[in-house]
Chain A
Amino acid sequence: MANRCAIIGVGQTAYKTKRLDVSMAGLLREAARRALEDAQLTWKDIDAVVVGKAPDLFEGVMMPETFLAEALGAAGKPIMRVHTAGSVGGSTAIVAAGLIQGGVHDRVLTIAWEKQSESNATWALTVNSPFTTSLVVGAGGYFAPHIRAYMRRSGAPDHIGTLVAVKDRQNALKNPWAHLKIPGISREMVESTPMLWEPIRYLETCPSSDGACAMVLASEDAAKKAPAPPAWVHGTSMRSEPMQFAGRDTVSPQGGKDAAADVYRQAGISDPRRELDCAEVYVPFSWYEPMWLENLGFCGESEGWKLTEAGATALDGDIPWNPSGGVLSSNPIGASGMIRFAEAALQVRGQAGEHQVDGARRALGHAYGGGAQFFAMWIVGSDKP
C-alpha cells in the first residue's frame, strides 16, 4: 500500500517570451526557491531532485540535468531527469510523488522548465530522424487534422475554439504569472487573427514561453510541519500508446480514457464533472478543451463543445477548466504539465489568489504529449485521502 504524499510548496516564475535576465540555472532556481519558501524549507531539507523538460533540442543542451546539478542543490543527492514529451511536466511530478509514496524519501523537489527563447521550438519539433519524412511543421501542423476530425464527428460549430481562447485569456488576466495578458480579449479579436493551421487561428494557439515551475512534495510526517495547508495526492496515472497504429483514435485517444479511469478509481470518483471542483487541463490549442471534456469523461461523446458553449468551464461555471489561463496563456513546454499539476494543488490549498475557485476541495491536473499519445494526470484534494 502506497504512503501518502502531500504538496507543501509551489513556486513559479513569471512566464514570458524571453527571460534574458537569467540563465537556465537562474530560471530554475527562481522557481525552486519560491517553492522552498512556500514550504519554509532550505535546500538541505531536500532528499532528492526530479527534473523534467521536453526535448533537449529545445535549448540545444543534451541531458541538462548534469549542468544544473549545482543550481538545484543536488550535489551529494540523487537527481533524475524525466522526459515524456509534452506530458513531461505531469510525469515528472508523478515520478517525484512516487519517491514519497514508495517510502524512499521524505521531501523531494520536483521542477520542470523550458527556456524556449534559447532556441526555436517549432523547428526543434519539425526535425525528424533521417529514416522518415516529416510532412508537418510544428505541433499545430500535427494536431490540426485531428481537430478538424473532431469538428466533423461532433458537429461542433466553428466558433467553439474561439470561446475557449477568450475564456482562458480572461482567466489569465487574474494570474500574476501568466504570459499572455490581453486586456479586452474578445471573440472578434480572436477571429481577426490569421489562420495558422486550418482551423487553428493565431490566438487559438499557445505562446512560446520561458519559465519554470517547482513543487516540494512531502511524506505525511514531513507535511505535518508545513506552514501552509498541504494538497494531498489522491491518485496519479500515466498512460502511453503507440503513435502509429491503425486502431488508434487520435481524436479521443484510449490512453487518455484509460488514465482518467485509473486516476478516478484511485480517488474514488465516478462523476468527474460533479465530484471535481475544478480542473487544469493541457489545452495548447483551444479546440482541445471540448475534445478533452469528452476524453476525460466530463460528458458524453460529441457533447464537449456544448459544455464549453454553455459556459460550464468558465471560472463561474459548474466545472471551471484552466482558471489559471492554462497552456493557451503560458507555455514553457516542459513545464506546462507541471503548471497544471501545481495550479490544481494551489486551488485545493486555497492559494490561487484572484483565480481561486471558491471552496475548491478536489482538482484534476492533466498533461498530454507526443502525438496525443502520452498522458499524465493527478487528482489532489484538501483532505487526506
Chain B
Amino acid sequence: MPRPVAVVAFAQTEHSGEDRGMAEIEILAPVITEIKERTGQKQFGFTCSGSCDYLAGAPFAFVSALDAIGAWPPISESHVEMDAAWALYEAWVKLQHGDIDTALVYGFGKSSQGNLRAVLTQQLDPYHLAPLGIDAVSLAALQARAYMERSGAKEDDLRAVAARSREAGHGNPFALHLPAPEGDDYDVAPLRPYDVAPVTDGAAAIVLAAGDRARELCERPAWITGIDHRTEPHAPGVRDLSRSDSARVAGEKAGATGIEVAELHAQYTHEELILREALGLGEDTVVNPSGGPLSANPMMAAGLIRIGEAAARVHDGSASRVLGHASSGPCLQQNLVCVLSGENHG
C-alpha cells in the first residue's frame, strides 16, 4: 500500500505566447517565490525539476535554475530531462521511502526562443528519422489521419475540441486568450493552425506532502491515489498511431475510473480524442476546464500543469476525483497518468 502523498500547492506563471525578453530562470523565479510563500515552506525534503536544454540551445538549463530557487544550504535535488510531470513522479517515489515529508517540483520552458517544431525534430531517432527533417506537426498530422480513418471522426470534430478549449482558456487567467477557431487553411493537413497547441513560454511548481504534513499545509489536499507512466516504441511504423496503448495501460495502473475532471496534455486536438478513448473518459467527465495545452502549452511544464490544474479542482472543492495526464515524445509516445482524490487518505 503506497504511502499517502498529496498535491498541497500549485503555482504557475501567466503564460506568454511571445518572447517577453526574460531568460528561463527569470520566468521561473517568481513561481518558486510564490509557492514558498503560499506553503510557508522555505525548505523541502526533496526537490526535482523538469526542463530541456534544447529549448535554450545550450547545455545545463537546470543548473541556472538552482541559482533561482536558492539551493542553500545544499539541497537534496534531482532533475529529469523530461516534462516536470516525471519530476513529480520521481518526487512521489522519493516520498514513498518514508524519510522525508515534503517535495518541491517545478518545470519551465521557453519555447519562443527557437523554432519549436524544428527543435523537436532533434528528438527523433538520429539515424533514421531526424535526417528526414520531419517536424512535430507533420508527425502529429499522420497520427490525426490514422485516428480519423479508424474512428470516423471529421475535421469538424477536431475543430470542436479547439473551440471548447479556447473558450475554456478565457476563464483561466494564466492561459493565452486565443480567438475562436476560424479559417480553412491547413497547417499540415488534416490539422489547421488551431488544432496545434500554441508556442508558449512559462513555468509551474507543485508541492507534494505526505500524510499529516499534507493536512497541515492544505485544507483539502489532493491525494494521489494512483500514478503510473508507460512508453511505446518510438518508430511511428511499429505502433498503431490511432490509439494510445501506453495511456490506456498507465490509466489502468493508476486506477482511472469515476473521473469527474480530467486535465489532458493533448497538444493537438486529435490527441484529446485518442486520450479520452484510451482512458475511458465518458461524456460525464469534464476535460481540460483550464483550456488545456491548446490554450497554453509551456514545454516541460505543461504536463505538470495538468496535474496542478486537476489538483486545484480538489483544493477548491469543485471535484473530488480528478485526473492529470502528461505526455512526452512524438505522437503521444510516453504517457503519465496521475489520479487524485479529495477523500481523506492516510
Residues of A with Cβ closer than 8 Å to B? Answer: 1-2, 23-24, 54-70, 74-85, 91, 94-95, 98-99, 101-104, 118, 124-125, 127-131, 237-245, 247, 253-255, 258-259, 370-371, 373-374
Contact = CB atoms under 8 A, between A and B. Distances in A.
Interface string B99-133: 10000000000000000000110111111011000
A62 B78 contact: no
Q: Which 3 A-B pairs have the closest CB atoms?
A: A102-B96, A55-B59, A255-B74
A79 B329 CA distance: 12
B80 A83 contact: yes
B236 to A, nearest CB: 11
B123 A240 contact: no
24 contacts: A56-B54, A65-B82, A67-B125, A67-B126, A74-B231, A81-B80, A81-B86, A82-B80, A82-B81, A82-B90, A94-B78, A95-B90, A98-B94, A101-B96, A129-B23, A129-B56, A129-B58, A239-B74, A240-B66, A240-B76, A242-B70, A243-B63, A247-B72, A373-B63
A79 B233 contact: no
Given A69-B234, A70-B235, A84-B79, A370 B67 contact: no
B281 interface: no
B77 A55 contact: no
A373 B77 CA distance: 11
B330 to A, nearest CB: 7
Given A66-B328, A67-B234, A243-B64, A104 B93 contact: yes
Contact of A2 (B75, B82, B99, B249): B99
A212 to B, nearest CB: 16
B66 A103 contact: no
A76 B124 CA distance: 19
Nearest to A57: B59
A63 B329 contact: yes
A241 B72 contact: yes
Nearest to B82: A81
A23 B62 contact: no
Given A57-B59, A69-B232, A70-B234, A104 B96 contact: yes
A226 B333 CA distance: 33
A244 B25 CA distance: 13
A233 to B, nearest CB: 12
A63 B123 contact: yes
A82 B93 CA distance: 14
B271 interface: no
Given A70-B235, A80-B89, A245-B72, A2 B52 contact: no
Contacts of B235: 70
B201 interface: no
Nearest to B123: A62
Contacts of B63: 85, 243, 370-371, 373
Given A61-B126, A64-B126, 5 more contacts: A2-B98, A56-B81, A70-B233, A82-B79, A82-B80
B231 A60 contact: no
A125 B129 CA distance: 26
B230 A76 contact: yes
B153 interface: no
Contacts of B73: 241, 254, 258
A248 to B, nearest CB: 8
Nearest to B330: A66
Given A1-B98, A66-B330, A258 B123 contact: no
Most buried by A among B58, B95, B330: B58
B240 to A, nearest CB: 13
Contacts of B93: 95, 98-99, 102, 104
Contacts of B245: 76
Contacts of A118: 126
B246 A66 contact: no
B2 interface: yes
A242 B232 CA distance: 36
Contact of A63 (B23, B96, B232, B328): B328
A61 B99 contact: no
A242 B66 contact: yes
A83 B62 contact: yes
Contacts of B62: 83-84
Contacts of A238: 76-78
Contacts of A23: 127
Given A55-B59, A103-B96, A129-B58, A63 B52 contact: yes
Contacts of B74: 239-241, 253-255, 258-259
A131 B78 contact: no
A242 B126 contact: no
Most buried by B among A70, A99, A247: A70
B167 interface: no
A132 to B, nearest CB: 8
Contacts of A2: 97-99
B180 interface: no
A241 B53 CA distance: 19
Contact of B126 (A59, A247, A253, A374): A59
B230 to A, nearest CB: 6
A62 B238 CA distance: 21
A66 B288 CA distance: 26
Interface string B303-346: 00000000000000000000000001110011000000000000
B186 interface: no
B97 A70 contact: no
B195 interface: no
Given A70-B234, A242-B66, A242-B71, A102 B97 contact: yes
Contacts of A253: 74
B228 interface: yes
A86 to B, nearest CB: 10
B76 A237 contact: yes
Interface in B189-244: 228-235, 238
A237 B93 CA distance: 15
